[in-house]
Amino acid sequence: MNTTDIQALLARIDELESRNALRDLVSDYCHGFDKRDWDRFRAIWWEDCVWDIGPPFGVFEGHEGIRNAVYEVLYPFWRETHHLTTNLRLSFETPDIAHGTCDVDCMGADVEDNFLVVGATYNDRFERRDGVWRIAKRQVQMHYFNPLPGARMQGPQG
Amino acid sequence: MNTTDIQALLARIDELESRNALRDLVSDYCHGFDKRDWDRFRAIWWEDCVWDIGPPFGVFEGHEGIRNAVYEVLYPFWRETHHLTTNLRLSFETPDIAHGTCDVDCMGADVEDNFLVVGATYNDRFERRDGVWRIAKRQVQMHYFNPLPGARMQGPQG
Amino acid sequence: MNTTDIQALLARIDELESRNALRDLVSDYCHGFDKRDWDRFRAIWWEDCVWDIGPPFGVFEGHEGIRNAVYEVLYPFWRETHHLTTNLRLSFETPDIAHGTCDVDCMGADVEDNFLVVGATYNDRFERRDGVWRIAKRQVQMHYFNPLPGARMQGPQG
């Protein structure tokens, strides 16, 4: 293989690794938020990020804004959440800028013990800076946000 | 590395990339159908494809058949759908023919405002032609198809 | 490329392939269990494995223990199950030992025809022995385990 071939090969492997790194960010959003692991959750975002959740919650910016969203807005509303993300579709604008779309099904209970189901799509902008991939912007498109009447969310021995 | 080693290495990288391409097709089925993006949806299918949904919907062939299924059968039934595919299991018959099995959880509302939940398995045959992967056949095995009595599907401010 | 560069490249490709192999194990757990394909289900576990489901089911060890769990405990309870795993987050302790965390949404019907929804997290230890990846330990952390009152799980023509 000549140098050009090797560079092309390394670029392909780099993209394969980037796809895994981006998939990990999308997973860590769920694990960090649902398991209330702030360090994991914060680590997915760039400091100058935007988290545009939209109604009924709002738009939040930077690590401080995200911390406020989590601790002042979302956790006071939700007693527990279980986000399941699927259908992750990635595309690369450059080797260091990527766009993602995935769907989420979230089941949770609010602090008043209602069993809620939420369906949404996340549209993400990812940026790699100094070799590290993080989320620059996540925009949430909410499809539905409903109680399941009569259902309760409780543990197997609850 | 000698030529044989390099060929083996390139074949491994090719399969890694093929797996991502196939995963993208499976995701685009959901994004294309649910977000009513016909160009995205059609692009996942070969012109001589088969989409065997089975009861209660039927079997559809070719782009024209798929267009009919979508616009004449499915969208008139569903007001909105939210497909979540997981558990994608791929195997390669050759470098250009692959088989996939994945599971789907679909939550949706029909045009009469019933909240429906559907569980199914997709069995897929993928073919790569002239370097492009698309679906040659998707066979749907429906497990359940039920209303959730009392639930409504509506937006966060609905 | 010199020998060191080639070794580094091969290690990167090896990890990419390992990630796919681990993802396949996680998918095969669902396909094997839900579709009652014992050979597929057993093949994901090492003979000296531990499957710690916790309450209300218990802890099971080895292929014999797993077979008992499946045929003596779980299938007698569940008429059907539909596991959907997402958010798979992998990390490598060594090239041959990996840890995974994923979330599962399971919808199923028990033998008394109740529609149940279960949310849980799987914490896995994977080991590669003689080139083959399998699960050494799966620990289940159950979040909820609830009926959906009024719902029935049945086929599209049921």
Could you report the per-residue pLDDT of C58-84, keeping only the tens digit for each?
A: 999 999 999 999 999 999 999 999 999
Please, what is the angle between helix A3-34 and helix B3-34, to 10°? 40
Query: Nearest chain B Cα to A1, which residue?
Result: B6
Cβ partners under 8 Å of residue C18, min gap 6? C92, C95, C98, C128, C133
Chain B residues with CB-CB distance to C105 below 8 A = 105
Tell me the shortest Cα–Cα distance from B131 to chain C, in angstroms. 21
The percent of residues in chain B predicted with pLDDT above 90, rounded, is 91
pLDDT at position B156 is 82
pLDDT at position A157 is 67
Residues C5-39: b if buried by 16+ CB within 10 A, e if exposed: eeeebeeebebbbbbebbbbbbbbbbbbbbeeeee
Residues C37, C51: Cα–Cα separation, whole Å: 18
Chain C residues with CB-CB distance to B150 below 8 A = 150
Quote the distance between the C-alpha of residue C109 and its chain's center. Answer: 19
CB contact under 8 A, B150 and A146: no
Q: Which of A3, A82, A148 to mutate to test the interface with C (most CBs of C within 10 A)?
A: A82
Interface of A with B (CB under 8 A): 1, 9, 12-13, 16, 19, 55-56, 84, 86-90, 101-103, 105, 117, 119, 121, 142-150
How many other C-beta atoms lie within 10 A of the C-beta of residue B158?
A: 9
Residue B158 has pLDDT above 80, yes or no: no
Interface of A with C (CB under 8 A): 1, 6, 10, 13, 16-17, 20, 24, 26-28, 30-31, 34-35, 80, 82-86, 105, 107, 115, 148, 150-158
Interface of C with B (CB under 8 A): 1, 6, 10, 13, 16-17, 20, 24, 26-28, 30-31, 34-35, 80, 82-86, 105, 107, 115, 148, 150-158
Long-range contacts of A1-6, Cβ-Cβ distance < 8 Å, separation of 24 or more: A1/B1, A1/B6, A1/C1, A6/C1
Residue C158 has pLDDT above 60, yes or no: no
Chain C residues with CB-CB distance to A34 below 8 A = 103
pLDDT-flagged residues of chain A (< 50): 158
Categorize the per-residue pLDDT at B2 as very low, low, confident or very high, splitting at 50, 70 and 90.
confident
pLDDT at position A56 is 79
Please, what is the angle between helix B3-34 and helix C3-34, to 10°? 40
User: How confident is the model over C93-135, as pLDDT tens digits?
Assistant: 999 999 999 999 999 999 999 999 999 999 999 999 999 999 9
Q: Which of B16, B82, B88, B154 to mutate to test the interface with A (most CBs of A within 10 A)?
A: B82
What's the topology of domain A3-147?
Nuclear Transport Factor 2; Chain: A, (3.10.450)
Calculate mean pLDDT across residues B92-104: 98
Tell me the shortest Cα–Cα distance from B89 to chain C, in angstroms. 6
CB contact under 8 A, C86 and B86: yes
CA dihedral B136, C23, A21, C105 (to 10 degrees): 90
Residues B91, B100: Cα–Cα separation, whole Å: 6
Q: How far apart are the first and last CA of chain B?
A: 63
Phi, psi of C22 (to 5 degrees): -70, -40
The tokens describing C132, both together, are 């083959």
Quote the distance between the C-alpha of residue C137 and its chain's center. Answer: 10
Q: Which of B14, B86, B105, B116 to mutate to test the interface with C (most CBs of C within 10 A)?
A: B86
How many other C-beta atoms lie within 10 A of the C-beta of residue A11?
A: 11
Percent helix, strand and coil across chain A, each rounded to 5? 35, 50, 20
Contact between B78 and B110 (Cβ < 8 Å): yes
CA Rg, chain A, in Å?
Answer: 18
Query: What type of residue sits at position C42?
Result: R
CB contact under 8 A, B30 and A143: no
Residues C87, C92: Cα–Cα separation, whole Å: 16
Residue B9 has pLDDT above 90, yes or no: yes
Picking from A98, A78, A77, A76, the residue whose alpha carbon sits closest to that of residue A88 is A98
- Active-site residue list of B: 34, 83
Chain C residues with CB-CB distance to B90 below 8 A = 24
Look at the alpha carbons of B31, B36, B40, B44 in this order and tell me if their dihedral is positive or negative.
positive
The tokens describing C13, both together, are 């490709």
Residues A109, C107: Cα–Cα separation, whole Å: 17
Calculate mean pLDDT across residues B124-130: 98
CB contact under 8 A, C145 and A151: no
Q: Residue A27 is nearest to which of C55, C88, C145, comparing CB atoms?
A: C88
CB contact under 8 A, B56 and C157: yes
Strand ranges (E), C64-130: 78-94, 97-110, 115-129
Contact between A84 and A36 (Cβ < 8 Å): no
Chain A residues with CB-CB distance to B35 below 8 A = 121
Q: What is the DSSP letter of B114?
A: -
Please, what is the angle between helix C3-34 and helix A3-34, to 10°? 40
Helices (H), chain A: 3-34, 38-42, 62-68, 75-77
